[in-house]
Chain A
């Protein structure tokens, strides 16, 4: 099925560094979502973006909904060891397609103490 292009695939950083990851799509989405998945668990929603151009923060996380509605980025500032995990972007069309999210391939984040 269709997937978003998420990059980078993996990141190895030192504790305290900032992190940036992004997703691009050839299709327009009406909602962009960012999830984090820990081993053996389901994804947990981090940030939801509902309007083109929207910039939203959640603690050390900041995400933006691209103005073209075809891209989004997620920044994590001052990383800590518990930030380790897999981060997924997801796009949602809405309308009759609620819940039919299209996911990126994920970014594996490793934080060295």
Chain B
């Protein structure tokens, strides 16, 4: 498929453990975004990568959250010392140029912290 791919689709972890969520953007898309969707809520911006520029991390809720994008393609969102309030669907999106181009979302990773 040519869409944004996220893995795993579901993740259950114990409070205090670290988790890594992966995103494979659409080939050729230079912009990559992470959003979080809590139950029954809209999407909340987390972080934005555009080409080789420094990422916009202004949406990360705490220093337990970090993200990397290696080689301008695959991205990993890491949550350290997970808390129950981190439970949510984490959505990745990519767009061709990071301008007004529409965002193409993946199906998300549903994270449950017990």
Instruction: Using CB atoms and an 8 Å cutoff, list the residues of chain A in contact with chain B.
Output: 1, 3-4, 6, 31, 33, 40-45, 48, 50, 88, 90, 92, 94, 96, 98-106
CB neighbours (8 Å) of A3 from chain B are: 42
Q: Which residue of B lies closest to A50 (CB)?
A: B100
Whole-angstrom CA separation of A1 from B44 in the bound complex: 7
B31 engages A98 (CB within 8 Å): yes
- 18 more contacts with CB within 8 A, not counting A1-B59, A43-B105, are A40-B107, A41-B108, A42-B93, A43-B43, A45-B104, A98-B31, A98-B99, A98-B100, A99-B31, A99-B48, A100-B45, A100-B48, A100-B56, A101-B103, A105-B40, A105-B41, A106-B41, A106-B42
A44 engages B105 (CB within 8 Å): yes
Q: Which residue of B lies closest to A41 (CB)?
A: B107
Q: Which residue of B lies closest to A88 (CB)?
A: B42
A99 engages B95 (CB within 8 Å): yes
What are 17 residue pairs bridging A and B, where the CB atoms are less than 8 Å apart in the complex? A31-B100, A42-B105, A48-B102, A92-B100, A98-B48, A98-B50, A99-B33, A99-B48, A99-B50, A99-B93, A99-B98, A99-B103, A100-B56, A100-B58, A101-B43, A102-B45, A103-B43
A105 engages B107 (CB within 8 Å): no
B4 within 8 A of A: yes
A96 to chain B, nearest CB (A): 8
CB neighbours (8 Å) of B56 from chain A are: 96, 100
Given contacts A50-B100, A99-B98, A100-B59, contact A105 B48 (CB under 8 A): no
Q: Which residue of A lies closest to B91 (CB)?
A: A42
Whole-angstrom CA separation of A99 from B43 in the bound complex: 12
Whole-angstrom CA separation of A94 from B104 in the bound complex: 17
Q: Which residue of A lies closest to B3 (CB)?
A: A42
The 3 closest A-B pairs by CB, nearest first: A42-B105, A103-B42, A103-B43
B107 engages A42 (CB within 8 Å): yes
Residues 22-43 of chain B, each 1 if its beta carbon lies under 8 Å from chain A, else 0 = 0000000001010100001111
Whole-angstrom CA separation of A1 from B73 in the bound complex: 28
Q: Which residue of A lies closest to B61 (CB)?
A: A1
Q: Which residue of A lies closest to B48 (CB)?
A: A99
